[in-house]
Amino acid sequence: MRKTERYPVKWEGNSLWNLYRTVSFFKVAKNFAVIQAARYTPFFTMKNWLYRAFLRMEVGPRTAFALMVFPDVMFPERIRVGRDTIIGFNTTILAHEYLVDEYRVGDVTIGDRVMIGANTTILPGVTIGDGAVVSAASLVNKDIPAGAMAGGNPVRIIYTAEEATRRKAGSREV
């Protein structure tokens, strides 16, 4: 189970219909403008500065967000990305989800030296451990342990850090 905070809808209609009761319109408009600017700039240092300064995301040094990455527009401050991490083209990082009868918010933590493949979607409440690799077009709906290789929709662990170490050791013995 992902680590999210659940908020039942207390108003008429579904949770998304009542979006601006949960988050300020002005916050969403500002975040959207900043995210759009960052999505198209080819300069990693500028992207990281925009994310840190205007969205209050925690972004480690030398982290590279590829073109078209879309961090959460409503709760970007709930996203933490470690150092030397690569977030692939057109990846979406969500820290919220609006459902019919409730909305949920959860922290997303991506460790150091992580590789996220292109077109991946990361759901709220997920932690991706240091050194993990997530293959392209994955739906990350659960935690990924440090050093693991994961992929698919929904994501599954392809091999753990321990299995990778054994594979490397085995290939050297040949």
Summarize pLDDT for 38-57 with one digit per residue, the tens.
Answer: 999 999 999 999 999 999 99
Contact 128, 134 (CB under 8 A): yes
Q: Which CATH class for the 5-173 domain?
A: mainly beta
How does pLDDT run across 68-108, given as a tens digit for each residue? 999 999 999 999 999 999 999 999 999 999 999 999 999 99
Query: 158 pLDDT band (50/70/90 cuts)?
Result: very high
Instruction: Indicate whether 165 pLDDT > 90.
Output: no
Q: What sign for the dihedral angle of Cα 47, 119, 116, 138?
A: positive
Instruction: Indicate whether 146 pLDDT > 90.
Output: yes
| Cis peptide preceding 42, ω within 30 of 0 | no
pLDDT of residue 173: 63
CA–CA gap between residue 146 and residue 132 (Å, rounded)? 5
H or E, element range at 159? strand 156-159
Contact 15, 98 (CB under 8 A): yes
How does pLDDT run across 14-35, given as a tens digit for each residue? 999 999 999 999 999 999 999 9
